[in-house]
Amino acid sequence: MSLDAVLSRIDADLGAATDRLLTFLRIPSISTDPAYKGQVSEAADWLVAELGQIGVDATAHKTPGHPMVVGHGGEGGRSLLFYGHYDVQPVDPLELWDRDPFDPAIEDTPKGKVIRGRGASDDKGQLMTFVEACRAWKAVHGTLPARLTFLFEGEEESGSPSLVPFLEQNRDLLAADLGLICDTALYGRDTPAITTMLRGLLGEEVTVTGPSRDLHSGSYGGPAMNPIRVLAKVLAGLHDLQGRVTVPGFYDDVEEVSEQVSQQWDALGFDAGSFLGEVGLSSPAGEADRSALEQIWARPTCEINGIKGGYAGAGFKTVLPSQASAKISFRLVAAQDPLKIRESFRQMVRDAMPPDCTVEFHGHGAAPASRMDISDPAFEAARKALSGEWPKDAAYVGAGGSIPVAGHLQQILGIDSMLIGFGKGDDQIHSPNEKYDLESFHRGMRSWARILDAIS
């Protein structure tokens, strides 16, 4: 009953909520460009004032970069930390926009009404779905639904340099039981999703050295070992004929997804043919006994990202090079330990070196995967709540790439997060003519009201 009152309040207030979002979007908070430093701060101050209106005591905390907005409000129930970011991407190339990116407006399109402007979807519109849900809750109940901590970052689009130190220095200020992150998309236009698995990443650069200088193949070809030949053999041996990675122990800490999640994934009806067709491919190249969706969300990979060595310029040169190198990345899942994988990989490469060849390694980052413990009843409660708002049932999904903040909240604050967002695949985030569907904004607010009602 009381949830219905909050939902009705959201419906009745949609026009005013949209006006507030348009005001927020008019602030050009481009974090990567120092010329906009003042405007980024202005956006932080705007949020502090908005939070103040719903009884949240908020402060824009100084950092070496842009401010971090933190607010607290509500009491009783679960303690929840909500994360969003108020900075936006640059707008270049400006000539490809149909309107001023910072003069946002509601537009009619064949697919419905959209809010057009930089940051509409990523992430100001998404961030405001939560704030507006709280506003409606407060209007109906006179209080907020739970102990809420709001964390709004102003550097997400420029590499988040202050985020980790800020989290480390403010553990008490940010303490909570569970994180809520609104910076992701729906699975499909009608299918909401809770992202619960994010792959980690390990980068390695390998340099094989053979002769002490580049040689002429007429003079030395035959007796001299060619490092490109050695490197190519190593790289070609990284996968077996079934597409499995051959690094010893690579799959030791990989876990199978549960039957429940696997059934949800089947129900999503993912079409590997059209997914690959869009990029001119037809047949999944990962592990032969795994679906393409599983390969992206739940399985680790090894990819060769670049190879260098010898002469690759115009014309021809019969060089036998002194060195050859390659850049290799691994996407990691579950409990795979990046450092253990790195050492196993390096040992495998060292073992493959013939006499007269040496190998050197340079590491490029090592981040473990994040996976959320969905046995926490809040996850299933949130999934049901989301399913009640959208035409199709919500699913737990994975993310092939990383969303670093989720890992930081786990590692530094010790909390899992529910990553729930309402972006759509055609929102053109980071591109000209970014938009957020009015439907996403409206249903997004209603979704949070339902979720807060279900989990607080």
Sites of contact with Zn ion (CB under 5 A):
122-123, 183
Q: Given the complex with Zn ion, which of 6 and 120 has the nearer CB atom?
A: 120
Nearest approach in angstroms of CB 302 to Zn ion is: 28
Which of 342, 427, 333, 444 minimizes the C-alpha distance to 385? 444
Nearest approach in angstroms of CB 183 to Zn ion is: 4
Contact predicate 353/359, CB 8 Å: yes
Q: Which two tokens stand for residue 455?
A: 């989990």
3-state secondary structure of 283: coil
Say how far apart CA 43 and CA 87 lie, in whole Å.
8
Q: Which helix (H) or strand (E) holds 50?
A: helix 37-53
Torsion angles phi and psi, residue 408, rounded to 5:
-65, -40
Q: Given the complex with Zn ion, which of 123 and 389 has the nearer CB atom?
A: 123
Q: Given the complex with Zn ion, which of 181 and 332 has the nearer CB atom?
A: 181
Please list, in sequence order, all residues whose beta carbon lies within 8 angstroms of the beta carbon of residue 148, skipping any fewer than 6 positions away: 56, 71, 72, 73, 74, 79, 80, 81, 82, 134
Amino acid letter, residue 247 = V
Nearest approach in angstroms of CB 106 to Zn ion is: 22
259-280 burial code (b ≥16 CB/10 A, e <16): eebeebbeebebebeeeeeeee
Say how far apart CA 95 and CA 432 lie, in whole Å.
9
Nearest approach in angstroms of CB 451 to Zn ion is: 20
Nearest approach in angstroms of CB 327 to Zn ion is: 26
Nearest approach in angstroms of CB 423 to Zn ion is: 9
Q: Given the complex with Zn ion, which of 87 and 287 has the nearer CB atom?
A: 87
Q: Given the complex with Zn ion, which of 122 and 294 has the nearer CB atom?
A: 122
Mark out the alpha helices in 96-226 (DSSP H runs): 124-141, 163-169, 217-220
Q: Given the complex with Zn ion, which of 310 and 423 has the nearer CB atom?
A: 423
Nearest approach in angstroms of CB 313 to Zn ion is: 40
Q: Given the complex with Zn ion, which of 133 and 405 has the nearer CB atom?
A: 405
